[in-house]
Amino acid sequence: MNIKKLNFCKLCFFFVLFFSFASAENIKQRHYNLDTANFIGQVAPNFKIKTSDNNIFLLSEEVGKETLIFCFAGTQNFTSAPFLKKIQAIKVRYNKKPVKFILISQDYKDLIKTFLDRNDLDFVFYSDNNKTLTKQFKIEEQPGIVIIGVDARVQLHASGTIPKNIDNYINKVIKANIKSLRKKENIKNTKEYFAEHFADIDNYYRDNYRARIYNKIKCPCQPYLSLSECGDCQEGKTIEKTLDEYFSKFHLFNTNTPDKNLAEEILKTNVEFLTD
């Protein structure tokens, strides 16, 4: 009898072990599929919400300006508070950087506010009690996180099983976006500067640089005179006409420049004319 009971217990143990392993594999596979199921790298879906600070957040207007981090957490979920404390430490670290954090919760505003106060957390939040954003971003379990980079694409997505070293992932994503944004800003500032000043540079180039060229080129008929000093002979007039036609078309920073490579080469080799 004891042997039968023992065998029965062994059999039950193996069944429990088997189903536990299978369930663990299913959960693992489900999270794996969720995190990598063609979501990371996709352009984030646009949405419009009113956050707890009474500001309207429209993704299409915010994207490209800063890294956007959306934390999904429930007030009744025991893992949400530790997760948000870790996120808050990152939030403090990048306080003066172009990074925005928004907490998304399915609970009502009063519950969210009480939860934040009780856990000494400071987040702008949105009450997603109709689960629109939660479904839109495929957050099947809480807590969850979605990071949208300055390229408008989802760069990090996880829910339910959050990696312990999630802060390392977040830091890498934020730093990469700050670097990308800085490069983008430098290009933008350079373009704006040249757009603002290119007309003056072009005028200077045409008027002053051309005059200096004419003063340096010797007239074919009288080698001791420059084009600007002579200009009466046919050869000199032909040269002047050719140069005038070129300078009339030439715009240093205009996209319609006939030969941009030539323009850049002229600027490079004759920069002293523009700076002295």
Give 131-148 pLDDT, tens digit per residue.
Answer: 999 988 988 888 999 999
Report if residue 28 sits inside a domain: yes
> Do 123 and 54 fall into the same domain?
yes
The 10s digit of each residue's pLDDT in 220-246 is 677 677 766 665 677 777 766 766 666
Task: Say if CB 81 and CB 103 are below 8 A apart.
Answer: no
The 10s digit of each residue's pLDDT in 80-118 is 899 999 999 999 999 889 999 999 999 999 999 999 999
> Do 243 and 201 fall into the same domain?
yes
> Do 113 and 133 fall into the same domain?
yes
* pLDDT above 90 for 123: yes
**Confidence bin at 261 (pLDDT 50/70/90):** low
The 10s digit of each residue's pLDDT in 171-218 is 899 998 888 888 776 656 555 555 554 555 555 556 666 666 666 666
> Do 52 and 139 fall into the same domain?
yes
**Confidence bin at 61 (pLDDT 50/70/90):** confident
**Confidence bin at 22 (pLDDT 50/70/90):** very low
> Do 199 and 130 fall into the same domain?
no
Beta-strand ranges (E) seen in 106-218 are 124-127, 144-148, 154-159
Which of the pair, 62 or 264, is modelled with greater confidence?
62
> Do 98 and 195 fall into the same domain?
no
> Do 121 and 215 fall into the same domain?
no
> Do 149 and 132 fall into the same domain?
yes
> Do 60 and 33 fall into the same domain?
no
Report if residue 26 sits inside a domain: yes
Report if residue 50 sits inside a domain: yes
Burial pattern 26-61, b for ≥16 Cβ within 10 A else e, equals eeeeebeebbeeebeeeebeeeebebbeeeebebee
- Name 270's Cβ contacts closer than 8 Å, sequence gap at least 6: 209
Q: How far is CA 211 from CA 134, 137, 193, 201, 239, in A?
A: 67, 63, 26, 15, 13
The number of domains in the chain is 3
Residue 155 to residue 165: CA distance in whole angstroms: 16
Report if residue 170 sits inside a domain: no
**Confidence bin at 67 (pLDDT 50/70/90):** very high
Tell me which amino acid residue 266 is: I
Mean pLDDT of 9-22: 46
Q: The domain containing residue 151 runs over which residues?
A: 39-162
pLDDT of the residue at 212: 65
Average pLDDT, the chain: 72
Helices assigned H by DSSP within 37-127: 59-62, 80-93, 109-118
Report if residue 171 sits inside a domain: no
- Domain at 157, CATH number: 3.40.30.10
Report if residue 177 sits inside a domain: no
- Tokens linked to 40: 């990371």
**How far from the centroid of its chain's Cα atoms is residue 211's Cα?**
46
Helices assigned H by DSSP within 53-150: 59-62, 80-93, 109-118, 132-136
Nearest Cα residue to 160 out of 22, 40, 41, 28? 28
> Do 73 and 125 fall into the same domain?
yes
> Do 73 and 158 fall into the same domain?
yes
* pLDDT above 90 for 122: yes
Which of the pair, 139 or 260, is modelled with greater confidence?
139
DSSP state of 47: -
pLDDT of the residue at 199: 53
* pLDDT above 70 for 258: no
pLDDT of the residue at 42: 84
Report if residue 223 sits inside a domain: yes
Report if residue 197 sits inside a domain: yes
Residue 255 to residue 257: CA distance in whole angstroms: 6
Task: Say if CB 160 and CB 31 are below 8 A apart.
Answer: yes
Residue 49 pairs in a beta bridge with 57
Mean pLDDT of 59-67: 87
> Do 118 and 13 fall into the same domain?
no
DSSP state of 43: B
